[in-house]
Amino acid sequence: MRKPQSADALEKLGMVRLSPSFYMREFLYSETANFHRIQNIPDNPELAIEVGRKLCEELLEPLNATFGRVTLRSSFCSCEVNKFCNEHGYNCAQNEANYASHIWDRLDAEGLKGTTACVVLPWFTDRYEKGADWRALAYWIHDHLPYNELQFFPALCAFNISWHEKPKKSIYSFIKPKGYLLRLAHFPSGYSALYEDFPPLRRG
């Protein structure tokens, strides 16, 4: 599949179904790209679709089935959009560092595939706003899903969740306690009590 060169071709790309609950169109929206009038379109749609399906089938669908609607905050980022964000203070890494992450349609430095989306779980956001510990959700995901990296943010307890061919199993947070919760597979014991009232894992 070639990069879309018309609105009709882009519409057809958007209709590609990545999993039972998700279509490609949802992942192409970017507020930054929209505001600055930059195209957020993959140069390699086939690779973007391939890794997007992994993200949806292995990570987002189980979250959606277990906790209810998964809301996307941001996901796919074209090289053009990511470069603009990096150069204009939008807290984006340089393109090469974002390959196989938010830039879905490029292999990383090791030649591996990967993808990232920033999502919100309204089910957990309601709890978080009442004082729930963000680590409860982090621990639950760690124990139940084949994620690569997680990164948590204070607003809405949104978090980046990524799939990768070679998972790092790394968890970082900008919410207190800030820093790495898990890195290089070092993990505390007894943490599952934080999520003992969560619903059981469902896969759709």
User: 204 in a domain, yes or no?
Assistant: no
User: 57 in a domain, yes or no?
Assistant: yes
User: 203 in a domain, yes or no?
Assistant: no
CA–CA separation, 157 vs 131, rounded Å? 11
User: 200 in a domain, yes or no?
Assistant: no
> Considering the entire predicted model, what is its pTM?
0.94
Are 33 and 39 a contacting pair, CB within 8 Å?
Answer: yes
User: 142 in a domain, yes or no?
Assistant: yes
Question: What are the start-end ranges of the E strands in 75-148?
Answer: 114-120
CA–CA separation, 89 vs 178, rounded Å? 22
Instruction: Give me 112's structure tokens.
Output: 């591996």
DSSP label at residue 183: B
CA–CA separation, 91 vs 97, rounded Å? 12
pLDDT at 185 over 60: no
User: 1 in a domain, yes or no?
Assistant: no
% of residues, the chain, pLDDT over 90: 90
User: 75 in a domain, yes or no?
Assistant: yes
pLDDT in tens, 66-87: 999 999 999 999 999 999 999 9
Q: How many other C-beta atoms lie within 10 A of the C-beta of residue 57?
A: 17
Helix (H) or strand (E) holding 24: helix 24-28
Q: How many other C-beta atoms lie within 10 A of the C-beta of residue 109?
A: 9
Residue type, 95: N
Q: Which domain holds residue 158?
A: 7-195
pLDDT in tens, 19-69: 999 999 999 999 999 999 999 999 999 999 999 999 999 999 999 999 999
Instruction: Give me 167's structure tokens.
Output: 């998972």
Our count of domains for the chain comes to 1
pLDDT at 15 over 60: yes
User: 110 in a domain, yes or no?
Assistant: yes
